[in-house]
Amino acid sequence: MNNGFMADQKKSNWPKIVCGCILVGGFLFLIVCVGGYFGSKAFVNFGISTDVGEFIDLVKQSDLDDESKAQLVERLEGIRDDARKGRRPSFFLWLDYDESIRGLIEDGEITEEDFAALSRELDRLEQASQP
């Protein structure tokens, strides 16, 4: 009975198990972070383009003359296409644009002052969307 010899033969597997768990956990964390980053960008692009699509519908239903409607719709379609391609303002900046544009056109009655303010907001939005 050589207990010293048997103790050397029976090393614990715990360090290997713990190291393996840490490696697997780190790998899964990396996958989640990368997927979350790209997934959130796609989600924001989709959300902004959907909001701009709603703006287009609101402008089309407004009481503006046809020439002004066409001008705004053309600009909004360009902004929507840019958002789909990822050329858009940051999410938190978009919230400000969304609120101000929606406030100008949501009631369907777009006055000349509203039209001028909306044009300024679209100018700022187009500028913020440039790479």
| pLDDT tens-digit readout, 57-92 | 999 998 888 998 999 999 999 999 999 998 888 889
pLDDT surpasses 60 at 8: no
- Per-domain boundaries in the chain: 44-128
Q: What is the pLDDT of residue 29?
A: 93
Q: What is the pLDDT of residue 63?
A: 85
Q: What is the pLDDT of residue 2?
A: 54
Q: If pLDDT is split at 50, 70 and 90, which confidence band does 18 have?
A: confident
23 φ, ψ to 5°? -65, -45
pTM of the model: 0.74
pLDDT surpasses 60 at 107: yes
Burial class (CB in 10 A: 0-12, 13-18, 19+), 87: middle
pLDDT surpasses 60 at 7: no
Burial class (CB in 10 A: 0-12, 13-18, 19+), 107: exposed
* Residue 131 identity (one-letter amino acid): P
pLDDT surpasses 80 at 1: no
Instruction: State both tokens at 2.
Output: 């050589």
Q: What is the pLDDT of residue 51?
A: 93
Residue 130 C-alpha from the chain's centroid: 16
Instruction: State both tokens at 36.
Output: 């979350």
Best CA proximity match to 59, nearest among 1, 2, 117, 104: 104
Residue 77 C-alpha from the chain's centroid: 18
pLDDT per residue over 22-66, tens digit each?
999 999 999 999 888 888 888 889 999 999 999 999 999 988 889
